[in-house]
Structure 1
Amino acid sequence: MERPLHNAYNETIPTNTITMGHAMKRVLILTAFILSGCASTPPTTVNIDQPPSVKPDSASTMMAGVSSVDITPPPGLPMAGYSMMANKGKGFRTRLKARTLYLDDGKGRSMALVQMDMFAGSLLLQHKVASAVAEKTGLNPGDIAVIGTHTHSAPSNYHHNDFYNKHASSGIGFEERYLEFMTARIVEGVEQAWAERKPAKIATGRKDIYGYNRNRSLSSYVLNPGQEYASDVFKAVNPSLYMIRVDGLDSDGTYKPMGAFSSFSVHATTLSALVDVYNADLFGYAQRELEWAVEKDYDTSWPVIHALATGTHGDMAPALADHNDRLFGHAPVNWKASKELGQGIGREAIGLFKELEGKLSTDLALRTATREINIMEENSAGNAEICSQPFAGNALAGGAYERRTPWLAAVPVLQGGNALSRRTFSTDGCQGNKRILGFSALQPLFEPTKSFPTTVLFQLMQVNDMAIVPLPFEITADSGRRMRDAIFDAYKNAGNTSLDNIAVISTSNGYFGYTTTPEEYDRQNYEGGHTLYGRYTTPYLVNRLGQLAEDSLKTEELEELLPRWTYTLKTGAFMPEKVLPQGSRAALTDPAFNEADESHEEDYIAFRWSDAAPFAIKLHEPLVSIETKTSAGWQPLVVEDIPVNDQGYDIEVRLVDTEGDGMAEWETRWYNPLPMDKGDYRFVIEPRNGSGAIYSKVF
């Protein structure tokens, strides 16, 4: 019998394993998947104004700007990625950020690449941001990409379709107030990057790195023709780390780094479904490693950004210890392993960043091509045709390798890759051998055709010799390779040799589930079961991208948008009530030390205080730091040139309980603290709502 675990205040806390009673409840997920279609929520209609076509007020030289804004939401929002298995966020550990790289080539073209520490981009968000910033910045909708890292520890529920507002997270319905929160934050970031633009230099590059991702669906991957490394999950990967480095002109007349936009193909799933605080997963560590190192090494006078996005990560798991299928429970939440892997990617990114120094140039050529398509209606492209009726497969319910849905995945017909999860008859249609979840006659009764995602914003964004290709799918490695080949072929056939690298990026400007190659699809692993539009989705996308590339080389401007941006969606309510605090802020406990019980856990010191309830606490603003007592008095604690505060890795903030007068009890934890016998320390809680700072007792 497992002994109960306790926190620093001797309160019983859940273990990092699922008990049989808890796990058996997961069996209800399949029923919930089907019956949730019956859930009645009031609809709302979102109308977004399309901005008129504009031209940037372009300088005569290359300009660039960067920004990083905090998008950490209030507690209580359902986290996405693990669907109904996910928790609602109780707070945060590594903050969620949106980083923008703005570029102007000095020839009348500009673009903004927005990377978010989110489950996915959102078509609604892309459209609302584009509409809001057009007049000031001169950016057209096709010049803006909104890209999610696919962290499974951030909210969702802001999609342009009911299907993923229902099934991506642990909450059902579109949360309009959350969309407005995200829109305001990202508009601020884009406009800041534009306003702070300066003369700049740029370099692009790529290097292959191994040991950070592995193929989680090797039995599908090996069905592709001509694949090497059939038995090595660490080599059957997309190893490419792509990067755009930008340096800006400082006031002293020298160019110093402003930051980088980069991509690497790995799932942001180092933390299991048991995690209960918002975080950026391994991407948060990889981003901050470069930002801190570059600020220190180059002594920059501005904050540096590392906008690290995911790539073709569909079958790319993080290279953690193999936890096997976990059919009856979840792996522990292992922050230490997440940090180690993320820091490793960060070090590789720092290396590439420095390698690009010798390639920096003031020459910049930009090209964007955009085609917005309702793929349900326009479901043919060249020789490929996708289904006009999307379906979720049985393998979706069972979950992906290692991150299975407990107990459901033990049912053979729901377990991806199991022979019983595939049909052996009527396999000639566009859905091939996919066994339809709930049967093809019944699923549309609970998941109407109109509930599925339909609109894809196809973009090709060229920055000198590199093309960024954002798509709203989780793209498998070989699917991405075929997309790159199609674009390269289009350029080659046009006699254009300007491209050296193409970074295909998943979960951008929306979310559509997966796309696999036809060969991978036939295996019906999780990725194939979650390819909604059927066996020929990748060939269809390949043809669309090839045609977009070909057409873009025939004209100076290519932006084809749907005539209206109007979406009717069923709603949900997850944002906290707008209640202002009536009580007083105050410390509630002395700092208390909690020693780790297991090898994957970390020591921490906890402190609790009373403060404003979730609406008014404003988690997207700095809140907690550690101070140390010196001969000059109390000073911010800095360890290895990095301040110990909630902008880093080891400060967590979580909601304990709400109170009736607009107040709440909060807890902050300092993980991996310095030894208490090595100095005097205290927690500092920043001012809020007109009240001054709170200081803990000295420890």
Structure 2
Amino acid sequence: MAQGSHPSTVGVVSRRTVLRSAAIAGGAATLASMLPAYSAAQTSNLLVGRGIGDITGEPLGAGMNGYAEMSQMSTGLHLRQRARAFIFAESESSPRIAMVTCELGLMFQSIQLEVLRRLRERFGDTYHEGNVLLTATHTHVAPGGTSGHPMVDLSMFGFRPATFEANVAGIVDAIAMAHEDMAPTEIGVSHAELTNAGVNRSKQAFDANPDEDKAAFPTGIDPRSQTLQMYRGGQLVGVLNWFGEHATSMSTDSTLVSSDNKGYAAWHWEREVAGQDYLSGATPPLITAFAQSNAGDISPNLDLSPGSGPTDNEYENTRIVGTREYDAAAGQIGAMAPLGAGIDVRHVWVDITAVEVTPEFTGDGLTHRTSVAALGAAFAAGSQEDGGGGEDLPFNEGARGGNPAVAQIGDVVIPQWLRDAHGDKDILLPAGLVPHAIQRVFPFHLVRLGSQYIFGIPFEVTVVSGLRLRRTLGKALGVSPDQVLIQGYTNGYGHYLTTPEEYATQNYEGGATAFGPWQLPAIAQIGAGLAASMREGTPNAPGTWERDLTGVIPASPFGNPSVDVPAPGHAFGDVIDEPQESYRPGQRVLSRFAGANPNTDLRRGSTYLTVEREDARGWTRVHDDGDWSTMITFENLGPFTNALVSWDIPQGTPPGNYRITYSATGRGLGSTFPINGASRGFQVD
């Protein structure tokens, strides 16, 4: 299938069709009546606020975070990125916890600190570095260039101010909406097993772990899908789900901005099942967030090849895997246990390059230290099951023979002390030797929501690393490890977290464990310290963050608009290619417009396109660029930018007369101007 194409929504599950039809026909009340009944004994009462914000970045010429593939630059938009916020409190005057799930490739300190600054301007000291947890879903098809550390931004060809602003502003919007939405809410917690949505992509490393660890995961994955369910007056109003797997259903060939499988799961529940309108401006009746847990070595590519499994179509795979994540969470609705009372949090900033790890945590009876950052040749190979890393580069994961030539060179050019500190790693990039190139001071958060504990850390955590952290924190807290959840990608990014045994195999995850083989024991020690403070009810010294280079890193030269010029022979908004006269569900509608560079106006909270149906009131929007069935591709040739809009007509679309519209903001000499266009009408039979 050609790049940028995807199948229509033919063959969607009947359950989705039934629920979507019910939501549209009867609204929230009808949907609520279809939910399983639950008793008050299954829930706890808290104050909860819910919010959502548009964080979509630049859809043209922006490098994408995740694969570090420089050729993967945005060419359009498939599914908008969103931030979903939940704020929890026991009373109006008690401390709050804000948890925000962001459909971003990575979360960075640069974003965290700017969000906190803006929250402080609006809400004083209500929200701060101790009680705001921002986590990324880790989609690999979202614009990047937003880190304050240049090593990450290098693969994006520099910093991207417009994308950074969109990310920050949308997150603040979500938290502000949640702040205004605080209300008494019944909340419960549930669990299910999801076994057909992910596969361990680094089985050789996993198998290096002790038998007692592997016994916890017979299939090599952590199947736990955990959900917080939120109700008001019997109506489901919020869902926060955690399940660990990479958002890499879309490959390096994908250049249309999307939120991948976790974004699809959230969109499907909110839009297709609940029938809500993202562009209404109101707080939606239902907000569903799909966050990451220990996803480090779990791939959604079930055939262990990029873009492959369960089919050979990455768009269909995204839909299938996202639907499976949705099904696992939705299947828990109505069956739950009370969350319990009490909210607490501890946080600490730690220089992870210089942690002395005691024998209690190293496991070998000796004291060890973490190291300044260095990335291995296996990191440069990329995860060869998911893609990235540059296929033409002469690097391999350990399972594919490793990198003996790099090791020989390293013996000459890498200082002995650094090679000793990183053990089995064939060092390729000693990034920690360059000031500020990579983050080294990280925030760690331990949150208690009733009986549940969430350890928020800024790393990609393998399943066995997550298991060991849960056991360590459970022991320190005096609770079952099942009550502890590890949330990765939180409030920063420090690459991977593997067990020492996994590290020694030097597959991709071990090569990307940046601070040496004792990084996991160090973080276990940090977590145990926070747990002891929480259990004893004593304060801890949180420390502080280290300056990054936000505002210093040069802006990317790619994709930035200067002056727009319409396609030759056309005015802005003209339809260059009209749709056909008639279509049937399952077919694709195409319309090309004389447009402008989309990065001048990202249309946050709005849309570049609509699909409209004619009725007695005139033209009514039925789809927009936040929907799965639409795409917009920007064909950029110097000052000319044409916009190709496609709509894959879903099954069940009512017959009638439809049209496609396009909207943008053009840039002239010293000013901007609106652009609007509409195709001719076409019939859907």
What range describes the TM-score normalised by the shorter chain of this pair? Answer: 0.7 to 0.9
* Mapped partners of 2:389, 2:357: distance in 1: 38
Matched, 1:470 2:447: no
- Residue matched to 1:431: 422
Q: Tell me, yes or no, if structure 1 residue 110 matches structure 2 residue 93.
A: no
Query: In the alignment, what sits opposite 1:680?
Result: 657
Match of 2:342 among 334, 349, 365: 365
**Alignment deviations for residues 412-432 of structure 1 (CA, whole Å, 9 cap, x no partner):** x63332444376999993312
Give yes or no for the alignment of 1:615 onto 2:599.
yes
1:344 aligned to 2:329? no
1 CA distance for matches of 2:507 and 2:307? 13
**Counterpart position of 1:52:** none
Cα distance, 1:294 vs structure 2: 6.0
Deviation at 1:368, TM superposition (A): 0.9
Q: How does 1:60-71 map to 2 (within 5 A)?
A: 62-71=46-55
- Asked if structure 2 preserves the Cα contact closer than 8 Å seen for 1:325 and 1:401, the reply is no
Task: Give the Cα separation in 2 of the matches to 1:256 and 1:303.
Answer: 9
From the superposition, tell whether residues 455 and 174 of structure 1 become closer, same or farther in structure 2 (CA, over 3 Å). Answer: farther
Question: Is 1:530 equivalent to 2:512 in the alignment?
Answer: yes
Decide which of 180, 183, 199 is 2:184's aligned counterpart: 199
1:182 and 2:162 correspond:
no
- Structure 2 letter corresponding to 1:397: A
Contact 2:294-2:487 at 8 Å conserved across structures: yes
On the 8 A contact 1:465/1:498 being kept in 2, the answer is no
Mapping for residues 27-106 of structure 1, pairs under 5 Å: 62-74=46-58, 75-106=60-91
* TM-score normalised by structure 2 residue count: 0.79
Distance, in Å, in 2 between the alignment partners of 1:112 and 1:339 is 29
Counterpart CA distance in 2 for 1:360 and 1:295 is 25
Q: Which amino acid aligns with 2:167?
A: M
Asked if the contact 1:124–1:158 (Cα under 8 Å) also holds between the matched residues in 2, the reply is: yes
CA distance in 2, matches of 1:407, 1:463: 42
Find the aligned partners of 1:675 and 1:289 in 2 and give their Cα distance.
Answer: 16
Deviation string 1:167-216 (CA, Å, 9 cap, x unpaired) is xx4x2333344323322221122112102222222112222221111111
User: Which AA in structure 2 matches 1:624?
Assistant: L
Question: How far 1:127 moved relative to its partner?
Answer: 1.5
Go from structure 1 to structure 2 and tell me whether the alpha carbon gap of 1:483 and 1:391 turns closer, same or farther (over 3 Å shift).
Answer: same
Deviation at 1:371, TM superposition (A): 0.2
Corresponding residue of 1:549: 531
Shift of 1:78: 0.8
- Does the alignment pair 1:696 with 2:679? yes
Conservation of the 8 A alpha-carbon contact between 1:145 and 1:470: yes
Pick from 201, 221, 238: which aligns with 2:206? 221
Residue identity in the other structure for 2:79: T
2:485 equivalent in structure 1? 503
Match of 2:127 among 132, 139, 145: 139
Q: What is the correspondence of 1:156-167 to structure 2 with a 5 Å cutoff? A: 156-166=144-154
The CA distance in 1 between the partners of 2:5 and 2:274, in whole Å, is 39
TM-aligned CA distance change 1:222 to 1:415, over 3 Å: closer
1:110, CA displacement in angstroms? 0.3
Match of 1:312 among 288, 294, 297: 294
* Whole-angstrom CA distance in 2 between matches of 1:612 and 1:419: 48
**Contact 1:421/1:524 (<8 A) preserved:** no
C-alpha distance after superposition, 1:524-581 (max 9, x if no partner): 1111111111111111111111111112222365461316655465323256347689
**Is 1:591 aligned with 2:591?**
no
How much does 1:623 deviate? 3.1
Change (3 A) 1:634 1:686: farther
Q: Secondary structure at the match of 1:376?
A: helix
Query: What is the alpha-carbon distance in structure 2 between the residues aligned to residue 360 and residue 676 of structure 1?
Result: 41
Pairing partner for 2:107 from 121, 140, 144? 121
Q: Choose from 374, 377, 383 the match for 1:400.
A: 383
Per the alignment, residue 646 of structure 1 pairs with 625
Which residue of 2 is the match for residue 32 of structure 1?
A: none
| Matched AA of 1:431 | H
CA deviation digits over 1:323-355, x for unaligned, max 9? 3899xxxx9762012111111111111112332
Residues 1:566 and 1:530: Cα distance change in structure 2 (over 3 Å)? closer
Q: Of 441, 446, 457, which residue of structure 2 is paired with 1:460?
A: 446
Go from structure 1 to structure 2 and tell me whether the alpha carbon gap of 1:303 and 1:608 turns closer, same or farther (over 3 Å shift). Answer: farther
Please, which moves more after superposition, 389-398 or 175-184? 175-184
Query: How far did residue 293 of structure 1 move?
Result: 6.3
Go from structure 1 to structure 2 and tell me whether the alpha carbon gap of 1:447 and 1:577 turns closer, same or farther (over 3 Å shift): farther
2:266 to 261, 280, 287: 287
Contact 2:373–2:433 (8 Å) recurs in 1: no
CA contact (8 A) 1:469 1:502 kept: yes
Q: 1:368 to 1:303 in 2, by over 3 A?
A: same
1:125, distance to aligned residue in structure 2 (A) = 1.1
Letter in 2 for 1:315: D
Shift of the 525–465 alpha-carbon distance from structure 1 to 2, 3 Å rule, reads: same
Match of 2:644 among 632, 647, 667: 667
Conserved? CA contact 2:66–2:105, under 8 Å? yes
For these two proteins, the number of residue pairs brought into alignment is 603
Compared CA separation, residues 301 and 194, structure 1 to 2 (3 A): closer
Q: Distance in 2 between matches of 1:224 and 1:14?
A: 40
Q: Deviations over 1:355-388 (max 9, x none)?
A: 23xx467x64211110011212445466554443
Residue deviations 1:257-306 (CA, integer Å, cap 9, x gap): 22112211111111110101110111121112322466369xx9833211
Distance 1:526 1:147, change over 3 A: same
| Secondary structure at the counterpart of residue 194 of structure 1 | helix
Q: 1:604 aligned to 2:591?
A: no
- Contact 1:211–1:234 (Cα < 8 Å) also in 2: no
Q: Give the conservation status (yes or no) of the 8 Å contact 1:518–1:535.
A: yes
Contact 2:133 2:456 in 1 (8 A): yes
Which residue of structure 1 aligns with residue 239 of structure 2? 260
User: Cα offset for 1:667?
Assistant: 1.3
The one of 150, 174, 180 equivalent to 2:138 is: 150
Per-residue deviation, 1:679: 4.0
For the residue of structure 1 that corresponds to 2:151, the secondary structure is helix
2:168 partner SS:
helix
Post-superposition CA distance 1:597-620 (Å, at most 9, x none): xxxxx9522111133432344342
State the match for 1:27 in structure 2.
Answer: none
2:314 match: 334
RMSD between aligned residues: 3.6
Partner of 1:656: 635
Instruction: Write the deviation string for residues 197-244 of structure 1: whole angstroms up to 9, x where unpaired.
Output: 2222211222222111111111110111125878x9982111111122
Which sections of structure 2, spanning at least 5 residues, go unmatched? 7-44, 277-281, 363-367, 666-671
Distance 1:575 1:69, change over 3 A: farther
Among 480, 484, 494, the alignment partner of 1:512 is: 494
| 1: CA distance, partners of 2:473 / 2:132 | 20
More moved, 583-592 vs 450-459: 583-592
Q: Is the 8 A contact 2:436 2:548 kept in 1?
A: no
Task: Report the secondary structure of 2:378's partner residue.
Answer: helix
